[in-house]
Amino acid sequence: MSKPINNRAWFFVLPVLGFVMFSAIIPMMTVVNYSVQDTMGSNQFFWNGDQWFRDLLNPTTEIGARFAGALGRNLTFSLVALLIEVPLGIGMALCLPRQGWTVGFVLVLIALPMLIPWNVVGTIWQIFARADIGLFGATLVGMGIPYNVTQDPTSAWVTIVVIDAWHWTPLVILLSYAGLRAIPDAYYQAARIDSASRWAIFTNVELPKLHKVLVIAVLLRFMQTFMIYTEPFVVTGGGPGSSTTFLAIDLVKIALGQVDLGNAAAMSLVYNLITLTICWIFYTIMTQMDKRGAE
């Protein structure tokens, strides 16, 4: 039996196409447009070829050095955040109750930070971390620990990392908890019959079963930390100096602060490309793992 072919069906795709044009493709093309042109103002543009990209990727130029610095800081930040949040999240998920009325209570309590918008989190911590009146900052200072978010780079870094861990470790906890709950009791029973120690159960039963969930958790956390903007913007403003100036912050400074459209366009395209590449790598790893598991 041959299927009826009706090309009019394509017309139904048009609204979506139109929507995607306006929401993604056209804005993206304007960025591409800016990245290959220069302007002297008064809305007059001229062709600049790949010069913006050459400058950006050359660390000896001013913009290149800035970009390399921000990229390095951002990668470091993502790495530190992941190293703290993933083990902490798994550990806390293991400690959560598995049954009884406390389950719902504890889960809601843990999920609370995730329900708070980024800028509110930033504002909360901006006050919380103040060395003079903030509970956190003032307490640390009172204990004799040199702490000042706005003047000491180490303090600023620690604060941003702590904020991110506070805000997003719950995501890792919830994902791990769901993964742990999905392990049938028989596995634990079998491990007990085999006289496995608690650590052996963790490494041989729980961790392998959490594998897939953890890939998702790591992927999500990497993307979010790699795009971090609001917390450093509100709490440290990217400072002191440029110590907490991450890629997104620098990009906004260049584009909206200096209205340096060429540099900003080139930078956002490269930034986007890095994000896409990392996404692709994660996706490949995940599908490869699925394939191996299905064999």
Partner 1 sequence: MARVELDHIAHSYAPKAAEPAYALHPLDVVWEEGSACALLGPSGCGKTTLLNIISGLIAPSRGRLLFNGQDVTRLPTEKRNIAQVFQFPVIYDTMTVAGNLAFPLRNRGMEKRAIEVRVAEIAELLDLTRDLNKPARNLTADAKQKISLGRGLVRSDVAAVLFDEPLTVIDPALKWELRSKLKEVHRALNVLMIYVTHDQVEALTFADQVMVMRDGEVLQRATPAELFETPEHTFVGYFIGSPGMNFLEADVAGHQAKVAGTVFELGRSYTVPAGSTKVQIGFRPDYARTAPSGDIPVKVRRIEDLGRRRLARLALGPHEIYATVPHDVTIDGEDAALTIPPNRLFVYVDGRRIIGEDRR
- What is the closest distance, in whole angstroms, from the C-beta atom of residue 285 to partner 1 in the complex? 17
Residue 39 and residue 263: Cα distance in Å, rounded?
12
291 binds partner 1 (CB under 8 A): no
- What is the closest distance, in whole angstroms, from the C-beta atom of residue 288 to partner 1 in the complex? 15
196 binds partner 1 (CB under 8 A): yes
209/240 with CB nearer partner 1: 209
9/186 with CB nearer partner 1: 186
H/E segment holding residue 38:
strand 37-39
189 binds partner 1 (CB under 8 A): yes
Residue 279 and residue 166: Cα distance in Å, rounded?
25
- What is the closest distance, in whole angstroms, from the C-beta atom of residue 203 to partner 1 in the complex? 8
Judged by CB under 8 A, the chain residues 231 through 260 that form the site for partner 1 are none
Judged by CB under 8 A, the chain residues 202 through 231 that form the site for partner 1 are 204-205, 208-209
**Which of 45, 118, 136, 187 is the binder for partner 1 (CB under 8 A)?**
187
Task: Kindly state the number of chain residues that form the binding site for partner 1, as judged by CB under 8 A.
Answer: 18
Q: How far is CA 86 from each of CA 195, 216, 295, rounded to the nearest angstrom?
A: 28, 11, 28
8 A C-beta contact, residue 178 and residue 96: no
Task: Dig out the tokens for 285 from the structure.
Answer: 């790893």
200 binds partner 1 (CB under 8 A): yes
